[in-house]
Amino acid sequence: MKTLKLLSGKEVSILGQGTWRMGEKANQKQAEIDALRLGIDLGMTLIDTAEMYGEGGAEKVVSEAIVGRREDIYLVSKFYPHNASYKGLIAACDRSLSRLKTDYIDLYLLHWRGSTPLMETLLGLQHLKQAGKILDYGVSNFDTDDMQEAESLPGGKAIATNQVLYNLMRRGIEWDLLPWCKERNIPIMAYSPIEQRAFVNNSKLDKIAIKHNASSTQIALSWLLHQDNVISIPKATNLDHVKENGAALNIKLTESDLKELDLAFKPPTRKMSLAMR
Ligand code: NAP
């Protein structure tokens, strides 16, 4: 598994697993656990979840998927902006820890920016880190101006990642946010890396997919895996999808493939506001 180093020195896999939409239906639970376990076996040991997903249900699914292998997992969870006050996020973290059946979260993220002053949220995150309940903290859905503001506050320079929408069809962050983060060694965690199935049978990817004996979705994921300073977290419950995603790591795109992809999915030519799901 290819890895990337966080500011804190921790090495994490550049291909992880998402869990949005997991933990919503009881009859899907075992399939979700099996999918996450297969992904872990294939080296996708970074698991992204959130208190929002299935209103705690996804964290419970994750807790079962990682039983007996907690130390192999890099566990990421996120708290709601309405829980981002100092007291609120400490309580939210305790609830997540209890659902996840663990005593620490590797990386804890503010899901998106709300009305709580960032200074207060950063204080709460530092408290949780000192208490050992989280090992690192970061943000999600922050545009460059939000990152600049956070960086200027106490504890802001320790932000370990910014989790944002990024894939071949959504390249807006390449204009400013991606280089800004790269200059500071803050990895971007790309969510919806396969644009929620939008690359399936995408004719713009056909030629390259055939050349690499891969699916068009794998090519889109592989493109992200070729980007510097980026971690990708596709979500898959279907076991064939999990295997396909894991195998995307073995695809080596050539310079000419990358140029062709730039022509088919153009990089931004101006500042674009950060897109969000
Ligand atoms: P995604 O990973 O781009 O796409 C997931 C969808 O693609 C699922 O329907 C899945 O189907 C399907 N799929 C997976 N692998 C496939 C493959 N190889 N071929 C064809 N289809 C495939 O979308 P996402 O769930 O929005 O994003 C990924 C993760 O990012 C989330 O789960 C979540 O952890 C995180 N996220 C964060 C935010 C945020 O605000 N911070 C927002 C959105 C997402 P099956 O499940 O049936 O296999």
Triad 218, 220, 226: Cα angle to 5°? 95
Q: How far apart are CA 131 and CA 125, in angstroms?
A: 10
Q: To test the ligand 1 pocket, which listed residue (19, 20, 223) has its Cβ within 8 A of the most ligand atoms?
A: 20
Q: Which ligand 1 atom is the nearest neighbour of the CA of 234?
A: 2
Q: Separation of 265 CA from ligand 1 center, angstroms?
A: 20
**Is 227 in a helix, a strand, or coil?**
coil
- DSSP alpha helices (H): ranges in the chain? 29-41, 57-65, 86-100, 118-130, 144-151, 177-183, 206-211, 216-225, 239-247, 255-264
CATH numbers and ranges of domains, the chain: 3-264 (3.20.20.100)
Q: Separation of 1 CA from ligand 1 center, angstroms?
A: 20
- Predicted confidence (pLDDT) per residue in 98-147, tens digit: 999 999 999 999 999 999 999 999 999 999 999 999 999 999 999 999 99
Tell which residue, 185, 275, 272, 195, has the closest CA to residue 230. Answer: 185
- Predicted confidence (pLDDT) per residue in 32-71, tens digit: 999 999 999 999 999 999 999 999 999 999 999 999 999 9
- Predicted confidence (pLDDT) per residue in 217-252, tens digit: 999 999 999 999 999 999 999 999 999 999 999 999
Q: Separation of 120 CA from ligand 1 center, angstroms?
A: 31
Task: Identify the bridge partners of residue 190 per DSSP, sorted by sequence position.
Answer: 164, 232
**Is 116 in a helix, a strand, or coil?**
coil
Q: How far apart are CA 236 and CA 56, in angstroms?
A: 18
Q: To test the ligand 1 pocket, which listed residue (194, 225, 230, 276) has its Cβ within 8 A of the most ligand atoms?
A: 194
Q: How far apart are CA 160 and CA 139, in angstroms?
A: 8
Q: What is the pTM for the complete model shown?
A: 0.98
Q: To test the ligand 1 pocket, which listed residue (111, 235, 240) has its Cβ within 8 A of the most ligand atoms?
A: 235
Whole-angstrom CA distances from 224 to 108, 194, 248, 249 are 23, 9, 10, 10
pLDDT for the residue numbered 1: 82
Triad 243, 248, 253: Cα angle to 5°? 165
Q: Separation of 192 CA from ligand 1 center, angstroms?
A: 5
Q: How far apart are CA 128 and CA 72, in angstroms?
A: 22
Contact 192, 173 (CB under 8 A): no
Per the rule left: phi > 0, alpha: psi between -120 and 50, beta: everything else, 228 is beta
